[in-house]
Amino acid sequence: MPLTALIIDDEELAREELAYLLEQVGGVEVLAQGSNGIEAVDLIEEHHPDAVFLDVQMPGLDGFAVIEKLLERRAKSAPEAQLAAPQMPQIVFATAYDQYAVRAFEVNAVDYLLKPFDRARIEQAVERVRQRLSGNSVNGTASPLPESQIESLLRLLNRPQGAPQPAKLIVQAQSRLLLVDQAEICYAAIDEGVIRVVTQSFEGSSKCRTLEELLDLLDPALFWRAHRGFVVNINHIREVVPWFKSSYQLRMNDKKQTEIPVSRAQTRRLRELFNL
């Protein structure tokens, strides 16, 4: 039997591309498509698919909020209702923004696809869905998530948003541990496994191991991951510099007026931030 699937993405071209590639892969029946998180929840509850190819950033509810909404509804159901309720679908995140990858797997996503889509990766994702369904099956039907796992996933989903970001961060400068206001940070960069934190007056290092870990501590209204190796404070961007082939660089207002590349995946976000 073919896998049943939904495609949820706010970009029509992305939905069409993914539907075409799934047709080429074969063995997948796309039951419906949606353009935002609210539609996603309704379509999942209507069709009960095996898998959902789910964009992360969408209007209404983002991809993580969709999962949270579904899990909350199951968690609130009576035990008898949970036994009869359809299983949670397997989630395959599909997005242009690679900084969500770690969190995608934390919330039990079966796979994570970066745009533009690659047929070989889609084949791999479909195979992983089949393996997950087979591994969780009881008499041929995938078993529902146990209550303990639902609670665990909800904690993971809520951790970045629910935990308040500290107003200050500890930055090590030589032998000193300095408390730095987030607003003073111009940017952070990772170099050979060390995260360098730059303000207008000094540079130091963070004890965080990854930029994802650092981002969890930073105010999302101020800080943006412009490139795989850089997080910038948008209030400290001095100039947006057009670069080769419709790309951009950011000139920061630190002492060195550092120029930071904007990845192609983040160009759209740059245009949204500054109405380019």
pLDDT digits (tens, 9 = 90+) for 154-200: 555 554 444 455 578 889 988 888 889 999 999 999 988 899 999 99
Closest C-alpha to 273, from 232, 243, 244, 245:
232
Alpha carbon separation from 153 to 93, 98, 136 (Å, rounded): 16, 21, 17
Q: Which CATH number characterizes residue 150's domain?
A: 3.40.50.2300
Please tell me whether residues 260 and 155 are part of one structural domain.
Answer: no
Let me know: does 237 contact 224? Beta carbons within 8 Å.
no
The identity of residue 123, as a single letter, is E
> How confident is the prediction for the chain on average, in pLDDT?
82
Region of 172 please: left (phi>0), alpha (psi -120 to 50) or beta.
beta
Closest C-alpha to 182, from 210, 207, 218:
218
Between 50 and 68, the more confident residue is 50
Please tell me whether residues 65 and 126 are part of one structural domain.
Answer: yes
* Sheet strand arrangement including 90-95: 28-34, 3-8, 51-54, 90-95, 111-114
Instruction: Indicate the residue among 117, 137, 162 that finishes a domain.
Output: 162
Q: How far apart are the first and last CA of the chain?
A: 48
Please tell me whether residues 91 and 65 are part of one structural domain.
Answer: yes
- State the total domains in the chain: 2
Residue 162 pLDDT:
43
pLDDT digits (tens, 9 = 90+) for 84-104: 455 789 999 887 765 566 566
Please tell me whether residues 206 and 131 are part of one structural domain.
Answer: no
Please tell me whether residues 49 and 107 are part of one structural domain.
Answer: yes
Please tell me whether residues 225 and 128 are part of one structural domain.
Answer: no
Please tell me whether residues 146 and 208 are part of one structural domain.
Answer: no
Instruction: Indicate the residue among 111, 141, 162 that finishes a domain.
Output: 162
Q: Which CATH number characterizes residue 252's domain?
A: 2.40.50.1020
Please tell me whether residues 256 and 183 are part of one structural domain.
Answer: yes
Please tell me whether residues 198 and 239 are part of one structural domain.
Answer: yes
Between 163 and 264, the more confident residue is 264
Please tell me whether residues 181 and 154 are part of one structural domain.
Answer: no
Say if residue 160 is preceded by a cis peptide, omega within 30 of 0. no
| This prediction's pTM | 0.54
Instruction: Indicate the residue among 134, 162, 190 that finishes a domain.
Output: 162
Other CB atoms within a 10 A radius of the CB of residue 20 amount to: 12
Closest C-alpha to 3, from 53, 40, 38:
53
Q: Which two tokens stand for residue 2?
A: 């073919």
Residue 122 pLDDT:
94
Percent of the chain residues past pLDDT 70, beyond the cut: 79
pLDDT over threshold 90, residue 44: yes
Residue 53 pLDDT:
96
Q: Where are the alpha helices (DSSP H) in the chain?
A: 12-25, 37-47, 63-76, 79-84, 101-106, 119-135, 147-162, 211-217, 267-274
Residue 140 pLDDT:
40
Please tell me whether residues 234 and 147 are part of one structural domain.
Answer: no
Please tell me whether residues 156 and 201 are part of one structural domain.
Answer: no
Which structural domain, as residue segments, surrounds residue 261?
A: 168-274
The band of 235, judged by pLDDT with boundaries at 50, 70 and 90, is: very high
The band of 107, judged by pLDDT with boundaries at 50, 70 and 90, is: low
